[in-house]
A and B are shown apart, each in its own frame.
Chain A
Amino acid sequence: MNCEVCQLKELELEHFEIREVLVCGWMFAGILHTIVFHRALGLVRPKDVDMELFDITYVQCGEVELEKKIDEKIEQFVCWVEKHPNKKSRICLSFYEVKNKQASWFSNKIERLYWEQWYINLNVVQHPKAHTSKSHHCKVVDTGEGGLEDRNARSAALEASLREVLFQIIKFVNEKKDHVPPIPNLEGPVSFPYEITIPSSSDSAFGMDMIKRMLQTGHPTMLS
């Protein structure tokens, strides 16, 4: 099966304050929802969501279950990032089809055929604190303006790159249409099964996840 993979442009974040955690959450929510919206080919009543920290509006499918699942995953991811500072990490959103397969030893009869994977990459810059502390000094001296400007500049840069990622999603969706399975006759907006995999390679949690998946599907395909 043809599995298209889209590596989204890396987002760079200085992870040193709670705010960044929020930013991180918003960014990933925006990205995940945007992707899912493009793959939710059931009847959708789009819901616009304004990111609080950015001047960006993204679209949700308006399905509660989906929102819950995404929020949950993002929370886990943010926790992971906090515990693993200075690392590159990523979330993988995969879409698959379920096929019945003749039972083989020890695996379920269900096979997941992944037809699309999206990698959302995050890079938490390692020395943000040093920078910030410097700027903090400046702040004190400059009555905070320096620090503020600094932050605004970073925020603007992040917003720009987030926007870029969202456009990247749109372009990908536009260019690659052939691999998308036929629209099933399902109720609800989310037309294809999907899974969200948090942290990327080398994470112990990820390893557990893989094991779980193997147990579930018997096919540890995909995911790096």
Chain B
Amino acid sequence: MASSHGNAHSEAAKIEQIITEFFAKSLHIILESRALYMSSRNSFGDQVASSPSSSSSSSSSVRPRDKWFNLALRECPAALENIDLWRQSNLEPIVIDVVLVERRVNRDPVSFSPKRVLPRSSSMKERYPLSWNSDQEELGIESKSEKIIERWVLQYENRKTRDSNSNSRRSSNISLHTLYKKSTLLLRSLYSTVRLLPAYKIFRELNSSAQICPFTLAHRVSSFVEPFTRKEEAEMLKFGFTPVDTSSGRLCLSVMYLPSAKNVNSEPTTPMSPQVITDYVGSPLADPLRRFPLVPAPGLPSYGSPSSLPFSRRHSWSYDHFRASPPSITCSPSPTHSESHTSVSNANSRRLPPASLPPHPTELSLIQKKNSGFDDYYPSPSYSIDSSGSLPSATLLRTESAPVSIPAAEVANSPAFSNRHYLPPSPPLRGSRYASKTMNMQTGATAEKLFSLGKDEPRKYSGVKISANSSPQISFSRSSSRSYQDDFDDPDFTCPFDVDDDDMTDPGSRAESLDHGHMADALEAGGFFPIRKSHDAAVGALVHLLKKAPPLRQDLPISEHLSQGACSQTWNNNAKEPNQIPEAPMPVSMMSSGLIATRKTTADALEEFHGYREMKNLLLTRGSKHQI
């Protein structure tokens, strides 16, 4: 209004451009310090390279988008993707939810630094069962709890809206320079603020390779606000940045955050200790494990170093690192990558667990992880990809504890795992729900729990087999060589479960096995055995189901694979931890999904899934009691 008519148009256009860029920059700033690096799989190379803390400063060349607001940020694929989507909307608000995903550890042994995890996770779950939603619950993802720890709301209030509120003031007097300057200032403080909030600690923690975390971060970008419950809202603090006036409205940015989010951080699990391993060895399950060359402890050290994180990305390398330390690690890193990318290979690989796991993890983790974290919420495949990135990191974390590797094998055996694997049917559900709205969900590494739970039992049964799988050599073969059917056929499998577990475990567990292994070991030693015995009937039923199920097909058409992938994602979600142990979970999910998906309808799958879930819960419950 202030400007002359002649300039009006161009000025309006410029204002809009500033606003648009402001949104983009804000989103970038936020996601840059909330989206786990691994998450952006799309650009394998770029992201990995950049270290969280210093990356932004490191790049020397000035890109056009760096010039906006004189703030050069490091690459953040997650942000770019989201902003591209947003640009298609008409200055709609952007709501970014940062979600803390905690995997729930049923058994102490499972978690390496478990004691804390258990109480915490369970409590969290109880507290916020609804926070994320229904999807998870439906799937029976009990092991996972998700909580929104930050909500950023970025919006442009149009004058019209404002006028009604009585502000028509001097907006006209606002010059472009002033608008730009104030926007720049606001973005500076946003940049600082993002780093002062409790969630940043979590982010940093997850990005440091040294620790195994029972939780991960995910984010969801949308254009609408999903209201909090009163209770949730009461727990959150709000910080509103001073709005920046433009001649036609104003830019508003605010954040609601959980001041207590850092409590979670404080509980990061400690890296695995060699002791744990020894214990595992002692356990009955240990024998099979022993075979494994894995005994990985030596390899572990590498994980510990932060530098490893970058590698950890989904690339085979990362896997290698992880797995490498663990005995099973055998998986060939680089080669696997290509394989892992294709969902099909994963499905096939199930059996091959060891080999497949490592490679898959990267790929799978990318896709599945994403899915797992938020899959439930966001059915759309594209989104899932983003999330996957985070998974790798998770895996890394776990892998770090080298000793665990042995346990991992055990973990694979655990029934829980097997159950999970079967879950795949759930995937269809996801898709419908969130596909449209949610732009992106990323999850960190939460998968571990899931895996760990299931793995224990499988190990027992498949102990020997597992070991075989665990061996590095196998890694590649897994993907293509074995068919699900074959697995079932194997005499070795005492129970369908076992077989499944093996297969499942192998693919996913191998990769994860280490992590899981830790969990599993503990679990195994303690309670899985007892559980099984007591639950023979349940197991039998499961076995029946499994047997009845048509064999998995590796030759499934691509489309099928995709669907499987989706399933796997769901699985991961169920697993909750999938992100962290993306590898293991992924494979499993793939397998399971493939089997079920191909054979049954979604509804059937769901039913089965629920059945499995119930059984699993029963088993776990009993098992935990026994163990403890």
Stretch at the interface among B56-64, B352-360, B530-538, B575-583: B56-64
**Which residues, 504 to 543 on B, are CB-close (under 8 Å) to A?**
none
Which of the residues B177, B186, B196 comes within 8 Å of A174, measured between beta carbons?
B186
Q: In the complex, which of the residues B177, B180, B181, B200 has the most CB atoms of chain A within 10 Å of its own CB atom?
A: B181
B181 touches A43 (CB 8 A): no
With A and B bound together, what is the CA distance between A212 and B193 in angstroms? 37
B189 touches A46 (CB 8 A): no
Stretch at the interface among B66-74, B104-112, B113-121: B66-74
CB-CB < 8 A to B52: which residues of A? 48
B185 touches A173 (CB 8 A): yes
Stretch at the interface among A53-61, A93-101, A215-223: A53-61
A44 touches B72 (CB 8 A): yes
Chain A nearest CB, measured from B603 CB (Å): 49
With A and B bound together, what is the CA distance between A89 and B334 in angstroms? 59
CB-CB < 8 A to B189: which residues of A? 38, 170, 173-174
**Which residues, 24 to 47 on A, are CB-close (under 8 Å) to B?**
34, 37-38, 40-47
B241 touches A45 (CB 8 A): no
Residue count of chain B within 8 Å CB distance of chain A: 34
A43 touches B57 (CB 8 A): no
Chain B nearest CB, measured from A148 CB (Å): 17
B195 touches A38 (CB 8 A): no
**Which residues, 575 to 617 on B, are CB-close (under 8 Å) to A?**
none
Assess whether A175 is interfacial by the CB under 8 Å rule: yes
CB-CB < 8 A to B241: which residues of A? 174
Assess whether B626 is interfacial by the CB under 8 Å rule: no
CB-CB < 8 A to B56: which residues of A? 45-48
Chain B nearest CB, measured from A194 CB (Å): 15
Which of the residues B54, B66, B67, B192 comes within 8 Å of A47, measured between beta carbons?
B54
Which of the residues B185, B195, B244 comes within 8 Å of A41, measured between beta carbons?
B185
Interface of A is mostly: mixed
B185 touches A170 (CB 8 A): no
Shortest Cβ distance from A189 into B: residue: B70
B196 touches A44 (CB 8 A): no
Assess whether B242 is interfacial by the CB under 8 Å rule: yes
CB-CB < 8 A to A183: which residues of B? 70, 177, 180-181, 184
With A and B bound together, what is the CA distance between A217 and B550 in angstroms? 88
B195 touches A42 (CB 8 A): no
With A and B bound together, what is the CA distance between A183 and B57 in angstroms? 21
CB-CB < 8 A to A163: which residues of B? 196
Which of the residues B67, B177, B188, B201 comes within 8 Å of A38, measured between beta carbons?
B188
Which of the residues B57, B59, B196 comes within 8 Å of A166, measured between beta carbons?
B196
Interface residues on A, range: 20 to 34
A177 touches B185 (CB 8 A): yes
Chain A nearest CB, measured from B170 CB (Å): 12
Assess whether A142 is interfacial by the CB under 8 Å rule: no
A50 touches B201 (CB 8 A): no
Chain A nearest CB, measured from B53 CB (Å): 4
Chain A nearest CB, measured from B414 CB (Å): 36
CB-CB < 8 A to B196: which residues of A? 56-57, 163, 166-167, 170
Assess whether A62 is interfacial by the CB under 8 Å rule: yes
With A and B bound together, what is the CA distance between A42 and B67 in angstroms? 9
Chain A nearest CB, measured from B297 CB (Å): 29
B192 touches A43 (CB 8 A): no
CB-CB < 8 A to B72: which residues of A? 43-46
**Which residues, 158 to 186 on A, are CB-close (under 8 Å) to B?**
163, 166-167, 169-170, 173-175, 177, 180, 182-183
B181 touches A57 (CB 8 A): no
With A and B bound together, what is the CA distance between A163 and B192 in angstroms? 11
Beyond A43-B66, A57-B204, A177-B182, whether A48 also contacts B53 by CB under 8 A is yes
Assess whether B434 is interfacial by the CB under 8 Å rule: no
Map CB proximity to B onto A170-214 as digits: 1 under 8 Å, 0 otherwise.
Answer: 100111010010110000010000000000000000000000000
CB-CB < 8 A to B193: which residues of A? 167, 170
**A–B pairs, 24, beta carbons within 8 Å:** A34-B192, A37-B191, A41-B181, A42-B70, A43-B62, A43-B66, A43-B67, A43-B71, A44-B71, A45-B72, A46-B71, A46-B72, A50-B204, A57-B195, A59-B192, A59-B195, A166-B196, A167-B196, A173-B185, A174-B185, A174-B242, A175-B242, A182-B177, A183-B184
Extra inter-chain contacts (14) besides given A38-B188, A182-B177, CB under 8 Å: A46-B57, A46-B71, A46-B191, A58-B192, A163-B196, A166-B196, A167-B196, A169-B192, A174-B185, A177-B181, A177-B185, A180-B185, A183-B70, A183-B180
